[in-house]
Amino acid sequence: MPSLPFSYLFFGRRQTQLLAFAVVLLMGLPVSAQIRLPKEEELNLLGLTMMWWAQATIDRNRDEVQFITNDEQNVYLQSRSGLMTTFNVETGERRWSKLLGIPDRVGYPAATNDRQILVSIGSNVISMDKLTGQELWKLRVPELPSASPEVDDNLAYVGTVDGSVYAFDLKRVRELHQESRLPEWAHIAQRWHRQAPGEITSSPISTGTTVSFASKSGVVIGVNTRDKQPRYDFYTDGQIVSPVGRSEDLIFVTDDNGRLFCINQDNGQLRWTYSTGTYIQEQPRAIGHQLFIITHRRGMECLSVAGGNTMWSQAGITEFIAASETRIYGSDVSGNLIIMNRQDGSILGTLRMRKFGMRIANDRTDRIVLSTPGGLIVCLRESGAEFPAYHLFPNRQPILPEMFDESAAPEEPEAPAAPAE
């Protein structure tokens, strides 16, 4: 019997339709603007199924989704007014929802590690337990952040508009929070500060021993996480305006001259360079041995991570959305979900999802997560993919239970014969 999507397990077909209609009414949309959830029949024709749908906490009169991100456990929706709603990425269960900081302050997408989620709101960085939403600490950064923070097991890193990068000791931050000395005494938890020649344009990237950060001026700086001792300075030929991509010990940096650089993050050694001849408008996304880039007016290009060789290209693709073992999912200029063959880039199908214009560029797992500006969110997966595939951090993949094959079980030994009398 084929598996049913999560919403059907709880509500059934008719009830799901009624609840979807109720969600639309609660969002305050006129009948002409009602948003239709994709039908299971049309999804199945494309080899997809709906895992779940949900509604984020949104002020329907003046608010909309600003950022939507995910990790291996959760989906995070941040609204322009500062509301955050968190869902279990596999079940759609709402974990928590809360207002962060002062509404309408400048913010950036959330960053997470195994336990906590970090969000920049104005000049503050707020840490919460990502499963409960409980605030763990809040500190004030000396300068205004210019990108999402980065967090590893020991340190949190924040890049700012004046080119500074600050590293904060998580253990010391927690101690100050317990002593009620934050955010005023945040400088005590500051491990180090490093100055770059221009605004930090991308979230720092940490391996635990080396942290790298990109300046708008065109330089990438790598330092030792413990004491900020320099590891390398790498100079590009132009300005760095797009976020830096990553894959294991490699980072992928683009400049405004249309060049892509693959760099070893530990020592700054250049592995290869690729020139597109046009602006690269999205963060490069590495999935296994392939790297996907979105170029201005040329669509998606698939390169080899090992050598930067072109494997295929597909015109008209404007966004990377997700990847499975055999497929790539992207958007076109009309907002459709485009399904492509991962081996050669050929188009396998199209799904009209124009109303769901907020899309996660998911290089963490194979789940497809889409949202409307009003916070109606759907999560799709490929038929038969009950367990997610982990891309960016495959070591976090849980050990799956082995299914017992009864046909391969050894036969019961015969009972010994009764002793002769």
The predicted-structure confidence for 293-329, as pLDDT tens digits, reads as follows: 999 888 999 999 999 999 999 999 999 999 999 999 9
CATH of 18-79+89-94+276-399, one of 1.20.140.10, 2.40.10.480, 3.30.420.40, 2.60.40.1180: 2.40.10.480
Burial of 48 (0-12, 13-18, 19+ CB in 10 A): buried
22 or 89: whose pLDDT is higher? Answer: 89
The helix (run of H) or strand (run of E) holding residue 233 is: strand 230-235
CATH architecture of 105-272: 7 Propeller (2.130)
* Confidence class for position 410, pLDDT limits 50, 70, 90: low
The mean of the pLDDT values for the chain is: 89
In 1-146, where do the E strands start and end?
Answer: 48-55, 65-70, 74-79, 83-88, 94-99, 111-112, 116-121, 124-129, 135-140
* Confidence class for position 407, pLDDT limits 50, 70, 90: low
Tokens of 1: 């019997």
Give the percent of the chain with pLDDT over 90: 80
Identify the weakest region by mean pLDDT among 55-64, 123-132, 367-376. 55-64
Who's near 300: CB < 8 A, 6+ residues apart? 292, 293, 294, 313, 314, 317, 320, 328, 330, 340, 345
Beta partners for residue 263, in sequence order = 251, 270
The helix (run of H) or strand (run of E) holding residue 294 is: strand 290-295
Who's near 137: CB < 8 A, 6+ residues apart? 126, 127, 173, 174, 176, 177, 182
18-79+89-94+276-399 with 105-272: one CATH topology?
no
The predicted-structure confidence for 139-153, as pLDDT tens digits, reads as follows: 999 999 999 999 999
Q: Would the pLDDT of 15 be above 70?
A: no
The predicted-structure confidence for 359-379, as pLDDT tens digits, reads as follows: 999 999 999 999 999 999 999
pTM for the model stands at 0.86
pLDDT at res. 62:
86
Ranges of each domain in the chain = 18-79+89-94+276-399, 105-272
Identify the weakest region by mean pLDDT among 4-18, 30-44, 202-216, 392-406. 4-18
**Distance between CA atoms of 138 and 125, rounded to whole angstroms?**
6
